[in-house]
Structure 1
Amino acid sequence: MKPDKIVKKQILNLPVYETGKPIEYVAREFGLDPDGILKMASNENPLGASPKAVEAVKKRLGTLNYYPDGGCYELRQKLSKKWGLAPAQFAFGNGSNEILEFIAQCFVGDGDETVFGAQSFIVYKLATIFMGGVCRSVPMPGLKYDLDAMRDAVTDRTKVVFMTNPNNPTGCVVPQAEVENFVRSLPEHVIFCYDEAYTEYQENPVDLRNLIAEGRNVICLRTFSKIYGLAGLRIGYSYSSEEIAGYINRAREPFNVNSLAQAAALAALDDDDFVRRSREVNNAGRKQFVEAFEKLGLEYFSDGANFVMVKVADAPQKFVEMQKRGVIVRPNVGYGLPDWLRITIGKPEQNERCIGELAKLLK
């Protein structure tokens, strides 16, 4: 019997998550020098990793023969103090992406529904399909969440509502009051999964700890991949009620977070100067892109996070042509936005080069 007759139907129907193209791939494909290529596709920190995290990793290199702390004890204690939550309210993953999969494993079964924005992080869809669930993808007019439509999409079959804020890939931001009102409107049988991957780029980010304290079924997710610059180590965490965190930890595999990632995350939490500098560079870069797009007469969207969206004719081909010029950006065909490119905000000289190459293609 052929494997396609044996494999789960969910796998046959599962879309492939296409990551941003690595520098080495583009160098091989177009015969370019890797050192001259700019990767502005995956929302990585252009300043690199937190210096304190780098030093912590170096100190731990001599212990690689030992398994990591399976419970992330030190990191759990530190986050407990940082957020004023009990240690048992946290769960850890190989990136917050893995925790999204845990959440689906815990709460989504055959025929169960999840609700999310049509142009929101594609892993919500993948995790749902993988567990045999049904996706309720809600249109996002103007690249923004329609909270009324999302609430209307909730049914007796809904188990999880997902939201990224700021959203990826559109970058829209939903303010505190609107998020709180939306969560309070949800029925008790629904889990609200609030993805805070880009929240550190906000000056006054939404804080849902009060809703968790009220007993709401809220799970908040954070990552060290973005503003802390630890994307290559893959570490993220969630915080929720102790009961919900307990279920997530049951789904978690032993030793899922490696020792170097734990050491780096611990140190990064103390690197306030790096976080502040990263936010400053990001804010200046956003302004640089906005001014350039306005001069070029391009439609753009840039409310928050560490990237901008820009609308250009024949965006998929522009994506290829930008690679030939040594600049990797991100197409959005898979998100139903074929005319848009997502560009990670870089350092001033990186932004200038990206803008210049794009401008040449528009002539």
Structure 2
Amino acid sequence: MVRKALENLKPYVPGKPVEEVERELGITNIDKLASNENLWGISPKVAAAIKEAVDKVNYYPDGGAFRLKEKIAAKYGVIPDNIILGNGSDELVMFLAMALIDPGDEAVMPVPSFPRYEPVVTMMNGIAREIPLKEHRLDLKTMAEAVNEKTRLVYLCNPNNPTGTYITKGELEEFLERVPEKVVVVLDEAYFEFARLFNDYPDGLNYFKKRPNTVVLRTFSKAYGLAGLRVGYGFAPENLAKAINSLRPPFNVNFLAQMAAVAALDDEEYVREVVKNTDEGKKFLYQELIRMGLSYIPSAANFLMIKTGKPSALVFRELLKRGVIVRSGDIFGMDDWIRVTVGTPAQNARFLNELKAVLEIL
């Protein structure tokens, strides 16, 4: 009854929600540091916009999200017809596979990376060519070598999730020179706002404007703090954007999400403050982890991969018992690592104290 391509698909398992931990363990005062959310909350302008919009949710939203597209287009110097919107950027990852992959077509992607790339290609009866990281970084040389006449799509997560490492301008330019222009290269920049602090981090929009088949994906879920409302956006060539607009479900970005995203774009000062606070928190974690004798991967995002030297599932479980939710590295094939979101000063301090306690008993 079920399509053969779906038989072995594994559902995406997100970071444990606070409510689930409360139910399972009967504890409160939980800090969720598992899903790379903005732990500083939303902009006051966003809160006001949601409050104003809530009385209108009895109406369907604008299916074309005209106002939001106009806002994004004006901010980034593109036309609205280049903009694609999704119920989170992960939906756009799926739409791209739906629009581009025929049975037998191939897509090249790094691993470990964002875990939705492979399933959406497999779902379309495509072949996912997964290229292992090299020293925790995307192995662009091997990825370029994996591109062949069947390749339709390349996914590049930059910065990469879960490692936080990034491709430099020079590395990306060399890669794009090696990949035929007919192949669509997707620059997944969910953590763009954090990564642009680095001078050699490439702004994908510059390449979108120069290379015909380049797609850039971004999100309001991270720096803007709208993870619970699900708004992803991207920039695509007009013909591809038109195809995605044709296959997407109607009203895939709800009314409150649209209004919140518009307001979020009006408060860049707030985003700068979030990025600054996150950078300071990351530096604090670096310092304290060194004191603890633990290694980590320097990150261009709002999270860190930390090598504990202990089985990640055990560390995860013990931290959970203490009310701190992190991401276990075993799901990424990194069995003695954990991934932690950079939080507020209080959350960062609590995490470190609980981690010390856990490592002492394991």
Question: Which residue, out of 347, 356, 361, partners 1:359?
Answer: 356
| Counterpart Cα distance in 2 of 1:50 and 1:106 | 35
SS in 2 for 1:346: coil
1:311 has 2:304 as partner: no
How do 1:175-324 residues align onto structure 2 when only pairs under 5 Å count? 175-202=168-195, 203=197, 204=199, 205-312=201-308, 313-324=310-321
Corresponding residue number in structure 1 for 2:339: 342
| Counterpart Cα distance in 1 of 2:277 and 2:157 | 22
| Counterpart Cα distance in 2 of 1:219 and 1:233 | 23
Question: Do the aligned residues in 2 keep the contact of 1:104 with 1:128 (CA within 8 Å)?
Answer: yes
Instruction: Give the number of equivalent residue pairs.
Output: 356
1:31 has 2:29 as partner: no
Question: Do the aligned residues in 2 keep the contact of 1:215 with 1:241 (CA within 8 Å)?
Answer: no
How do 1:125-204 residues align onto structure 2 when only pairs under 5 Å count? 125-202=118-195, 203=197, 204=199
Deviation at residue 287 of structure 1 after TM alignment: 0.8
Structure 1, residues 12-40: CA drift from partner, whole Å, max 9, x if none?
A: 1102211100001111111102xx10000
Deviation at residue 100 of structure 1 after TM alignment: 0.7
> What letter matches 1:229 in structure 2?
G
| Counterpart Cα distance in 2 of 1:74 and 1:280 | 29
SS in 1 for 2:301: coil
Gaps of 5+ in 1: 1-5
Question: Which residue, out of 61, 73, 76, partners 2:69?
Answer: 76
1:331 has 2:328 as partner: yes
Structure 1, residues 61-117: CA drift from partner, whole Å, max 9, x if none?
A: 111111100111011111111111111110111111111110000001211111111
> What letter matches 1:13 in structure 2?
N
1:95 has 2:91 as partner: no
Deviation at residue 349 of structure 1 after TM alignment: 1.0
Question: Which residue, out of 78, 99, 115, partners 1:106?
Answer: 99
Structure 1, residues 45-71: CA drift from partner, whole Å, max 9, x if none?
A: 110112211110110111111110011
| Counterpart Cα distance in 2 of 1:199 and 1:11 | 32
| Counterpart Cα distance in 1 of 2:295 and 2:321 | 24
Deviation at residue 165 of structure 1 after TM alignment: 0.8
Q: Percent identity of the aligned residues?
A: 43
TM-score (norm: length of structure 2)? 0.96
Corresponding residue number in structure 2 for 1:3: none
| Counterpart Cα distance in 2 of 1:49 and 1:200 | 15
How do 1:110-125 residues align onto structure 2 when only pairs under 5 Å count? 110-125=103-118
| Counterpart Cα distance in 2 of 1:350 and 1:104 | 38
TM-score (norm: length of structure 1)? 0.96
Question: Do the aligned residues in 1 keep the contact of 2:121 with 2:127 (CA within 8 Å)?
Answer: yes
Deviation at residue 130 of structure 1 after TM alignment: 1.1
The alignment's C-alpha RMSD in Å is 1.1
Question: Do the aligned residues in 2 keep the contact of 1:286 with 1:302 (CA within 8 Å)?
Answer: no
How do 1:2-17 residues align onto structure 2 when only pairs under 5 Å count? 6-17=1-12
Deviation at residue 215 of structure 1 after TM alignment: 4.3
SS in 1 for 2:135: helix
Question: Do the aligned residues in 1 keep the contact of 2:181 with 2:211 (CA within 8 Å)?
Answer: no
Of 201-210 and 293-302, more deviation after overlay is shown by: 201-210
How do 1:18-57 residues align onto structure 2 when only pairs under 5 Å count? 18-33=13-28, 36-57=29-50
Deviation at residue 153 of structure 1 after TM alignment: 1.0
| Counterpart Cα distance in 2 of 1:56 and 1:184 | 44
| Counterpart Cα distance in 2 of 1:108 and 1:338 | 32
Deviation at residue 231 of structure 1 after TM alignment: 0.3
Structure 1, residues 154-203: CA drift from partner, whole Å, max 9, x if none?
A: 11111110011111011001112211221232113311011110010122
Gaps of 5+ in 2: none
Question: Do the aligned residues in 2 keep the contact of 1:180 with 1:208 (CA within 8 Å)?
Answer: no
